Amino acid sequence: MTDDTGSESDSETGDPIPDPICGNAIVESGEACDDGNTLETDDCLNDCTLATCGDGILNEGVEACDDGNTDNTDDCVDCAMAVCGDGSVQDGVEACDDGNMADDDMCTNACELATCGDGFVQVGVEECDDTNMDNNDDCIDCLAATCGDGFVQIGVEECDDGNTDNDDGCDDTCMGAVCGDGFVQPGEECDDANLDAMDGCAPTCAWEFRVAFATSTSHTGDLGGLGGADAICNMLAQNAGLQGTYMAWLSTDASSPATRFTQSTVPYMLPDGNKVADDWADLVDGDLDFAIARTETGGMSVNTSEMCGGSARLARTGTTEFGTLGASTCLDYSSAIPSDFGAIGRSASNMSQWSNCGELPCDVSLPIYCFQQ
């Protein structure tokens, strides 16, 4: 009850109840605790309130620190000293803190952001991590070294040029190019994957001879220029299994075999093995050792519907027997009009007429000669 002065009083005696005294070791009304001492570092503070984390007073034996705030990015986290792995990033000290002891995620056990070269393989990101930036071992920028990555793996690779091109000096297995590896490298004319002699490609990867043939197909004078004619030669040669690249024995106002062909120092041979000429000089001296009367497959050249010099085995040439521009070229092999003409040769002849035997209208279909370069 309350007396006339407003003070609380005992309900039975009516005597006033004294105000609670903090520190008398008696928990009285309005006090959460009273431990009878003046220590601020125990469970009961000097104002008889219970010690709590964040009150700014260090509770000895319970708290490691108490900085009076709830900021978990300083050096006191929930009244425990901040440590790496507590899940709170300590500003200015830690780059990250993911609350675990795993070194293979994005935050290492040292609370540093994972980086290539830290020695820990970051799962899903890195294939390896060997703690160095050496790109000549088996771990390159935290990716497993592979042939084609552009770095020579010491003791494993002879070369690594960063591509899978097999004709540039370093093959797609990262082995250095050698004659006989089956790839034509700079400085090689051919490479047939062996070191056998007399098979067309010498053990030095140079041609032992070059092939010449008359096409098994016939064409009007509209060949698509020299480029189109060369494409016909290469397609037929490839289909027949012949090695190398080929050009058509044709001339235009701007070009001729004498200016665009490789002038061979080795013999020209037919697909059936007969020799046409000893070399370029012998080829263009007017006569042949053997007529170019064989197709890319070794069969006889085509009989045409026209005649020249008593033979129907003809070829479109536009070229003299000396490899120079002939009398007419079907407008540089762009015309199939009857009123336009192109110079022709006799494929059955080994004399000058093999390349120079008059003219025929450009609408007439004839074979062409092809020479390996």
Taking 50 as the pLDDT cut, the residues of the chain under it are 1-3, 5, 7
Whether 145 contacts 137, CB under 8 Å = yes
Please give the residue range of the domain that contains residue 299.
209-373
DSSP-based three-state secondary structure for 176: strand
pLDDT at position 89, please?
92
Read off φ and ψ for residue 227, nearest 5 degrees.
-60, -40
- pLDDT, tens digit (0-9, with 9 covering 90-100), for 150-199: 999 888 999 999 998 887 889 899 998 899 999 998 889 999 999 998 88
pLDDT at position 15, please?
64
pLDDT at position 2, please?
47
Residue 320: C-alpha distances to residues 158, 261, 310 (Å): 50, 14, 19
What is the pLDDT of the chain when averaged over all its residues?
A: 91
What token pair was written down for 278?
């000893």
Residue 90 in any domain: the answer is no
Sign of CA dihedral 239, 272, 227, 232: negative
pLDDT at position 345, please?
97
Residue 112 in any domain: the answer is no
Residue 219: C-alpha distances to residues 65, 229, 245, 300 (Å): 98, 9, 20, 17
> What count of other Cβ atoms lies within 10 Å of the Cβ of residue 173?
13
Residue 316 in any domain: the answer is yes
Residue 89 in any domain: the answer is no
Residue 182 in any domain: the answer is no
Residue 204 in any domain: the answer is no
CATH number, residue 365: 3.10.100.10
Instruction: Give the count of alpha carbons within 13 A of 201, CB side only.
Output: 19
Number of domains in the chain: 1
Residue 225 in any domain: the answer is yes
For residue 76, the cross-strand partners are 81
Q: Is the pTM of this model over 0.75?
A: no
Residue 129: C-alpha distances to residues 6, 109, 137, 151 (Å): 79, 16, 11, 16
Residue 333 in any domain: the answer is yes
